[in-house]
Chain A
Amino acid sequence: MIADLLTPFHYDYLLKAIWVSALVGGACGFLSAFVTLKGWSLMGDALSHAVVPGVAVSYILGLPFVLGAFVAALLASGAMVLVRARSRIREDATIGIVFTSFFALGLVLISRFPSKVDLKMILFGNILGISGSDVIQVAAISALTLLVLGLKWRDLMLVSFDPAQARTLGLPAAWLQWLLLALLSATAVAALQAVGACLVVAMLVTPGATAYLLTDRFGRLIWLSTAMGAFTSWLGAYLSYHFNGATGGCIVVLQTLLFLVAFTFAPKHGWLAARRRVKQDWTPPLDT
């Protein structure tokens, strides 16, 4: 039994994959603090689907997948901005249309070149089985994202919270917005390898949402969500060895469980706490 549980640790490549997914989880967790703050869930979902044609083209042409994915993500964001600015279609519908179109394009490409691209890998991720060079790309992106976020998180927070104030302080607000979007695309690409296109959005939303229920301080929120992202990804990747390789599924189920626990029991913003408060709390009117 114990030997069974320890099996993954005996294989070097598995061990490496587990740590890499923890790194990806940490980067996504860090970013999820911003995604939650800005209400960008749909954006995260959209970008993770929109990179698919880029990944497909890269594999077909034999380029590093990061390159294609990044170009696709930029094109998609550009298309969204363009359609949004020049039509009466709501933002959410615009995002929906653009990302499904991109994803559809990716599907058509893949179905035309089935031997070059592994569709399963794109849909569900396969961190335990990806090639060495891909692992390096994923690790590099995540490390870079973490580094940039670690250095610039205060600026990014200010821009997310109050762009006007950021501008008056002389910060390049527009650039920082794009930086955030670029980081989002980058992590979406990395997470694509770990959990697959369908579940990337969970990595970019759930840790931040969970932390948001637990604290009111942004600094602490970042710590919590990064730690939760890294831990769940580590544990999920390890567990998935026993679950037939459904790495993404395991990681995201763990994250959702944490969220539900926080939702129910969080000391201040939890459901139980609110129910207790109904009876007690009352601020007297001003005239007394």
Chain B
Amino acid sequence: MTEAPFDLAVEGVSVAYANGHLALRDASFHLSGGTICALVGVNGSGKSTLFKSIMGFVKPVSGHVTINGAAVKVALKRNVVAYVPQAEEVDWDFPVSVADVAMMGRYGRMNFLRIPSATDKTKVEEALRRVSMWDFRDRQIGELSGGQKKRVFLARALAQEGRVILLDEPFTGVDVKTEQAIIDLLRELRAEGCIILVSTHNLGSVPEFCDQVVLINRTVLGYGPTSEVFTEDNLSKAFGGALRHFHFEHSTVQDHDGRAIRVLTDDERPLVFGKDGHLEYKDREGREDILRQREEET
């Protein structure tokens, strides 16, 4: 799968609510594939509005979104934009099976009657196998666990062969194992040249798998590589007082503890900053410089 890298440009986008208030003003950023980019901001910061304008759900009052130089509408016709909804947005009582949902990714490529061809069926099978959900293909979607549900919708995006993939809060209600599986899959997709845009308030996971970040608070405050943009300063700007701070005094971090800090949380992974950046990296590739620096300090 080597296509020309994809390119997403959001330029000066402003979006208004029905009551006339602006939800987003003059938002601009550029991304090109493959990348996994996090969209970070508090609730009500315009995250979902930005998502909606990239998907063409809302029309900006000014500015425009282009995908590979073409307007969103054109891009949608080519079926290159795929999205994975939040679990709450889906009616899980619906009488559709896992395979039905994955097949919905193919509708744009089918004929008028939406009768699946052999290609459609193989693509669906491939996608379901890739997220290891093929064995569950005949299950009604409500009978799945939170992680399985997420994977089904991810399979739909795969079956659609989308090149710009939008995920809305992909890790809520998902167990740690599935989270890792999803992250691995996203990395594969990045390697294939996809643009993956993840909206999340789960800050701790961002430096782990996202190489770029867009910070928003009713406009784009900044965007770029995670190491440059996802800093303590910028985050406090984006979140204002909405972030909880845990400050570890010198006395907490003692030499006889091996200078190790353990932070236990239940659901959301905390983001931990050290002297020159993030302390906690599961994904240490490309961070050798920081590691070396730390080594030298000790």
Contacts and interface: CB of A to CB of B under 8 A. Distances in A.
Given A88-B93, A278-B61, A282-B25, A287 B221 contact: yes
B243 interface: no
A285 B19 contact: no
Contacts, number: 36
B250 interface: no
B93 A283 contact: no
B120 to A, nearest CB: 30
Contacts of A287: 217, 221, 237-238
Contacts of A282: 22, 25
Given A88-B93, A286-B240, A274 B20 contact: yes
Contact of A275 (B20, B219, B221): B20
B16 A285 contact: no
Contacts of B18: 274
A277 interface: yes
B151 interface: no
Interface string B21-38: 110010000000000000
Interface string A268-288: 010001111110011101110
B163 interface: no
A275 B25 CA distance: 17
A286 B19 CA distance: 21
Per DSSP, are chain B's interface residues mostly helix, strand or loop, or mixed? Answer: loop
B42 to A, nearest CB: 9
- Range of interface residues on chain B? 10 to 19
Contact of A276 (B20, B22, B25): B20
Interface string A115-138: 000000000000000000000000
A278 B16 contact: yes
> In this complex, which of A282, A283, A287 has the most chain B Cβ atoms within 10 angstroms of its Cβ?
A287
Interface string B206-220: 000000000001110
A212 to B, nearest CB: 14
Contacts of A274: 18-20
A123 to B, nearest CB: 36
A286 to B, nearest CB: 5
Contacts of A286: 217-218, 237-238, 240
A173 B218 CA distance: 40
B20 A281 contact: yes
A277 B16 CA distance: 10
Contacts of A269: 19
Contact of A285 (B21, B93, B217): B217
Contacts of B61: 278
Nearest to B240: A286
Given A286-B237, A286-B240, A277 B93 contact: no
Nearest to B142: A88
A277 B218 contact: no
> In this complex, which of B20, B93, B219 has the most chain A Cβ atoms within 10 angstroms of its Cβ?
B20
A243 to B, nearest CB: 37
Interface in A227-285: 269, 273-278, 281-283, 285
A159 B226 CA distance: 48
Contacts of A285: 25, 217-219, 221
A285 B221 CA distance: 9
A268 to B, nearest CB: 10
A88 B95 CA distance: 11
> In this complex, which of A274, A276, A277, A285 has the most chain B Cβ atoms within 10 angstroms of its Cβ?
A285
Contacts of B22: 281-283
Contacts of A273: 20
A191 B219 CA distance: 52
A282 B219 CA distance: 11
A285 B219 CA distance: 7
A59 B219 CA distance: 66
A78 B18 CA distance: 39
Nearest to B22: A282
A271 to B, nearest CB: 10
Q: Which 10 pairs show the lowest CB-CB distances between chains A and B?
A: A277-B20, A274-B20, A278-B20, A287-B237, A286-B240, A282-B22, A285-B219, A285-B218, A274-B19, A278-B16
21 contacts: A88-B93, A269-B19, A274-B18, A276-B20, A277-B19, A277-B20, A277-B21, A278-B20, A278-B61, A281-B21, A281-B22, A283-B21, A283-B218, A285-B217, A285-B219, A285-B221, A286-B218, A286-B237, A286-B240, A287-B217, A287-B238
